[in-house]
Structure 1
Amino acid sequence: MRKLISSVGLPALLAAVMVGTPVAHADNVGYLVNVTVRPGYNFANADQALAYGYGVCDKIAAGKSYAQLVGDIKSDFNTSDEFQASYLISQSAQELCPAQIWQLRNSAAGYVGAPG
Structure 2
Amino acid sequence: METGMSKGMINIRDAEFEMEVLKSKQPVLIYFWASWCGPCQLMSPLVRIVADSYSDRLKVVKMEVDPNPGSVKQCDVEGVPAFRIVQDGTLVASTEGAIGKDKLINFIDTCLNNN
TM-score, structure 1 length as denominator? 0.23
Q: Which has the larger radius of gyration?
A: 1
Greater per-residue helix proportion: 1
Greater per-residue strand proportion: 2
TM-score, structure 2 length as denominator? 0.24
